[in-house]
Structure 1
């Protein structure tokens, strides 16, 4: 695996959007939702803040991690792997790089939320050291599928 992990650049917003859409369309479909045209309208501002990271291979963006800095915590808002790279270990590799980012910033935990029905994601995060903190309905109210809140101490 020859990937490069780095902070996204604003000029790569369209590529990051493409990977996010390709990876999340099936996820949202299972939740009974679709990705609207403006679904990732927050992406440019997040990139400018330095909260979006990319995995690059051969000059192409193949993974995206959108994060949010919280007090002593890195919140993983989105982890997207291009469908052509899913199952290759890229997601695990990006999670390892995010741990390094969080540690270098002095964060004590990494946290995330995923849909309860996505048991393969819960297993993936669990195998990376995340534990279930609690379960509950989403705050956004766009669907009624239970969410699993997970965290990992660094």
Structure 2
């Protein structure tokens, strides 16, 4: 696939027929963390069929038709939670992660929400650095569902 085709993309709601591609993407994106965490990261255990059916999942599709990234968005009280954001390793470094974060911001604004939230594992330090570079602030650290998580927020006002 040429880089030109890969740079053309759209973010759209996920469809049931995207499930296999989503699960493959998530497994590829999080596989490097299995050894570091000593177990599968939470996103590898999620029910993506359920997220798709609930309208909570969006995919980033390239101009060539490949699913290169995904977002799982959950509406909270006064905020939108990015429950998962992932880019296929073969497509990393092309700005797709930034595009997905912007899509989440756009969706929050569309819903009249002024805050985004997300969390990552404390050992996923590269994620923490990325979020801080993009205007996110750390709000807390705590154990949840057997994982040591770092929570972030971003004000959209």
| TM-score relative to the length of structure 1 | 0.89
2:60 counterpart residue number:
55
| Residue correspondence of structure 1 range 5-154 to structure 2 within 5 A | 5-34=11-40, 39-40=45-46, 42-57=47-62, 58-137=64-143, 139-141=144-146, 143=147, 146-154=148-156
Displacement, 1:21?
0.9
Aligned length: 148
Q: Does the 8 A contact of 2:33 with 2:41 survive in 1?
A: no
Structure 1 CA distance, aligned partners of 2:16 and 2:77? 25
Structure 1 CA distance, aligned partners of 2:54 and 2:114? 20
Structure 1: tracts of 5 or more residues without a match = none
User: 2:45 aligns to what SS in structure 1?
Assistant: coil
Structure 1 CA distance, aligned partners of 2:72 and 2:9? 17
Structure 2: tracts of 5 or more residues without a match = 1-6
Structure 1 CA distance, aligned partners of 2:128 and 2:116? 15
Q: Does the 8 A contact of 1:23 with 1:83 survive in 2?
A: yes
Displacement, 1:69?
1.1
Displacement, 1:98?
1.0
| TM-score relative to the length of structure 2 | 0.87
Query: Which 4+ stretches in 1 moved above 3 angstroms?
Result: none
